[in-house]
Amino acid sequence: MSLFGDDVNYNLEFRSTKDDGWYHCGVVLEHRNRLRVKFKHFDQICNDEVFSVSDFSTNDDVSKFLQRFRPESEPIGDNRCSRVSEGLMVSAACTGGNHLRKFDAVVEAVIKKKHSPEKCLCTCLLFWQHGPEEGHTTRTNLSSVYLIKSGSVDPTVLNFTKLVKEKVNRASIEFTLIPKNPYLFKGTSSNENITKPQDFGSVGHSSHDGFSAGSEGFFPVSDQGCEKETGNQHYLILENLETDLCPLFLIDFIHEQTLITAQAYIIPHLLSETCARAAIVVDKKTELETIYKFLNNPNHIIVSSSGRPWVLAEDKVRTGSFSTNLHGFPPMSEKGNMKKDLKVVKLGTEEYTKAKKQKDLYMVFRNHLNDVVQRLAMEEEIINNGPAQ
């Protein structure tokens, strides 16, 4: 495939590793081991960003790389300023330079003015999430604001990440068979392998089954878990909850925020664990998708009174029967704490920043645990079937 041909489809935005800005781009897979990111408004090849399969060492690296891509954002337009509201995450053009680059920001306020359909005069206050104005609020014309769109991952990017994952998994098996440190048990890792928090993402942070990173798209995959659809209940799993959270309080909170009445089951935790998990169960898939969108909204985080942020255990909504698993866990508990205040903290606030740091810290732990589980599974396979020839 020619690097300069017309076959490049410029349908994406890429968050550049050079200046952290979002640019209009297309991608080309070269020699089945490199992905070239070509920027639409840069003609010279020296401006391309090129990534090799060998540049990635963990599945977490792959997840973070995927989150640098998204569909091309949509300009507001002169007659659609009503689509912008307080609290909305948008992408906005940054002044300076010869080429259009955008950075993400949260709309703090919209200052509306009467205008004709041909020319919008409205402005807004933006709290910048990254870029030259990160952490500051500036006033911007709505003509410079773009709506962030969701959609599936570009097939070329997806093919490249599949090649990367194959390489990472092979390296992981080799690491397990020949440990670098003879004093480590097989299947464990040194501090070098503890993953870092993701910079750009939503909830999923791992490629391990059951803790999907949403690597097949920019939106959750529904009903593709390992459970077979044998019942008419739909559910998702929450984690990092307070250990004394009452299910009834959880039900009330979900209803208050979404107007949906769900069932809640607190899953028993070990005495050594500092947080709990819960299952949110409804009879209609559409209701669960509404709950999921609320929990996974990047513009806010749900936290307890102690500041502990909720985390979705999976990027999947599941379907199945609870007759043999969760019905043993009472949906209500007299011992549960009914006074655990839950809050929805908004993006752009100090509370959100603190909650995001705690959530990232939790994800470091969970990603590391996922890696250990994967190595355990490989070790068990080696014990059962013998080492690969």
CA distance 346 to 84: 16
**Percentage above 70 pLDDT, the chain:** 75
- Give yes or no for residue 232 having a pLDDT over 80: no
**Position 2 pLDDT exceeds 80:** no
Task: Check residue 161 and give left, alpha or beta (phi > 0: left; psi -120 to 50: alpha).
Answer: alpha
Between CA 149 and CA 74 the distance in angstroms is: 7
According to the model, what pLDDT value does residue 115 have? Answer: 82
Residue 92 has pLDDT above 90, yes or no: yes
| Four-residue CA torsion sign, 235, 237, 238, 241 | positive
pLDDT attached to residue 160: 94
Bridge partner list, 107:
126
For 41-45, 229-233, 323-327, which range has the lowest pLDDT when averaged over its residues?
Answer: 323-327
* Amino acid 218: pLDDT: 35
pLDDT tens for 17-55 read 999 999 999 999 998 899 999 998 787 777 899 999 999
Dist. CA 366–CA 374, nearest whole Å: 12
| pLDDT value, residue 202 | 34
Looking at the DSSP bridge assignments, the partners of residue 237 are 279
Amino acid at 366: R
Residues 6+ apart with CB under 8 A from 167: 53, 54, 56
Please give the model's pTM, rounded to 2 decimal places: 0.50
Average pLDDT over residues 125-130: 91
**Other CB atoms closer than 10 Å to residue 119's CB: what's the count?**
9
For residues 140 and 101, give the distance between their C-alpha atoms in angstroms, rounded to a whole number.
15
Q: Encode pLDDT of 156-201 as tens digits.
A: 999 999 999 888 877 765 544 434 333 333 333 333 332 333 333 3
Interacting residues of 66 by C-beta distance below 8 A, sequence separation 6+ = 153, 157, 161, 213, 215
- pLDDT tens-digit readout, 336-371: 444 457 888 888 788 888 999 999 898 888 888 888
Q: What is the pLDDT of residue 335?
A: 44
Distance of alpha carbon 112 from the chain centroid: 33
Give residue 314's pLDDT: 79
Return the pLDDT at 135: 86
Mean pLDDT calculated for residue range 1-18: 76
pLDDT at 43: 73
Tell me which residue of 205, 209, 102 sits closest to 145, measured CA to CA.
Answer: 102
pLDDT of 12 reads 94
- The domains of the chain, with CATH numbers, are 73-147 (2.30.30.140), 225-347 (3.30.70)
Do 114 and 43 contact (CB within 8 A), yes or no? no
The pLDDT mean for the chain works out to 76
Q: What is the predicted pLDDT for the residue at 85?
A: 87
For residue 211, the 8-state DSSP code is S
Q: What is the pLDDT of residue 163?
A: 92
The answer to whether 87 touches 299, Cβ cutoff 8 Å, is yes
Position 326 confidence tier, pLDDT thresholds 50, 70, 90: very low
Q: Name residue, tokens 């100090």.
A: 350
pLDDT attached to residue 172: 60
Amino acid sitting at position 213: A
Distance CA 139, CA 126 (A): 6
User: How many C-beta neighbours within 10 Å does residue 341 have?
Assistant: 10
Q: Where do runs of H (alpha helix) occur along the chain?
A: 59-66, 155-177, 247-258, 285-295, 350-385
Torsion of CA 24, 26, 30, 32, to 10 degrees: 110
pLDDT at 327 over 70: no
| Of 49, 38, 34, 33, nearest in space to 5 by CA | 38
H or E element that contains 243:
none
**C-alpha–C-alpha distance, residues 177 and 190, integer Å:** 15
Is the confidence at residue 6, as pLDDT, over 60?
A: no
Indicate the range of 61-70, 201-210, 380-389 predicted with least confidence.
201-210
Question: What mean pLDDT comes out for the span 314-332?
Answer: 57
199/279: higher pLDDT: 279
* Number of H-type helices and E-type strands within the chain: 5, 19
Give pLDDT, residue 221.
33
> Residue 193's pLDDT is what?
32
Q: Does the pLDDT of residue 118 top 70, yes or no?
A: yes
